[in-house]
Amino acid sequence: MLETLAYDGAFFRGIVDAAPDAMVIVDAEGRILLANSQTQELFGYRAEELIGQPVEILVPERYRAGHHGNRASFAAASSRRPMGLHRELYAVHSDGSEIPVEISLSPVETVEGPLVVAAVRDITERKKVVKEANRLREELIATVSHELRTPLTSIIGYAELLGDLDESDLSPRARGLLSVIERNAGRELRLVDDLLTLAFLEDRRQHLNSAPVDLVHVARRVVDDHLLRAVDADVELRFEGGDVLPVRGDALRLIQVVENLVTNAIKFTPRGGTITVRVHDTDEAAVLEVADTGVGVSPEEKERLFDRLYRAPAAVAAQVQGAGLGLSIVQKILERHHGTVVVDSELGVGTTVTVTLPHAAASS
């Protein structure tokens, strides 16, 4: 609850002049009652020049039409908050140039009526730092992609060619060593691909190829592709699905989701176990379930399953291959698709991972 104060210009001036940021106090009509000395450094106006002016004098021309409505909505909410969440804000200098800013608004009740204290911070330097960080990040991703992925792909390719040689050209011992080379190079290539995928998904400037996707087709394709691997692991892999409305998303990324979940289930399901991939509809969304009769996880471990690079103690003890990125990637992909993922697991019983994706019509 806000405390009602008597408006004392000298008192408020003492407060705002002590602040490190530019600050203005605005009345209910949007007129500036007070401005501190920092406003001159930021906006180019002397503090006394701003008194009595509409606050829109500090707002770029293209935003002024909608600013009255924004002021009204803030007055109705009447709570302290940052302004412009999830979008960039700009103020205008007296010379007409625009400045990227961060704004925090605080309502104050006085006997003369409600006031709003606005603290404005210039974030020009911060944006430069972020821009440079993004440039370095892209440079690093490009380097990783070229310097690691390219030679690993070459190693795997030559290993496959050597594996195709006749028995007379390659001794059994050499063939065994070659298999180790191929297996480890493949594992490192998957790790590089996973890291690049995470970098892509975390960069909101990167756009997914969004289109209607048949989730039943995606899941069935992944199951078919992993049948041989399941047979090798002595695990039954089955699929259940009927007519499901399309979801909207990037088909290749959604295939990646199902592949990661099925691969995990195969890794952690003992011989003789069962994995069921099921797709069905609700009124508002399509649901994918990957249920296994595997080792399961404890409630404490479940809380950390989506942490990057986290590997359950049982996985480490059993020397199960993986870097602990699969579920992080699943979660990131689903976030970009406005979907959800939930894990239900019990030690020694099994795990069910449930993915929910909005129908294409609902998400468009």
Please tell me the predicted confidence (pLDDT) of residue 198. 72
Please tell me the predicted confidence (pLDDT) of residue 1. 38
Please tell me the predicted confidence (pLDDT) of residue 316. 44
* Interval 6-31: pLDDT, tens: 555 566 666 666 778 888 888 888 89
* pTM as predicted: 0.53
Query: Hey, what are 194's tokens?
Result: 């996973």
d(C-alpha 16, C-alpha 13), whole Å: 5
Q: How many residues does the chain have?
A: 364
- CATH number for the segment(s) 127-202: 1.10.287
d(C-alpha 312, C-alpha 344), whole Å: 15
Q: Where in the chain is the domain with CATH 3.30.450.20?
A: 4-122
Please tell me the predicted confidence (pLDDT) of residue 36. 87
- Stretch 129-134: mean pLDDT, rounded? 82
Q: Would you place residue 319 in the very low, low, confident or very high pLDDT band (cuts 50, 70, 90)?
A: very low
pLDDT at 81 over 90: no
**Cα torsion angle, 28, 32, 36, 42, sign:** positive
Architecture (CATH level 2) of domain 4-122: 2-Layer Sandwich (3.30)
Q: What is the mean pLDDT of the chain?
A: 81
Q: Where in the chain is the domain with CATH 1.10.287?
A: 127-202
pLDDT at 276 over 90: yes
Architecture (CATH level 2) of domain 211-363: 2-Layer Sandwich (3.30)
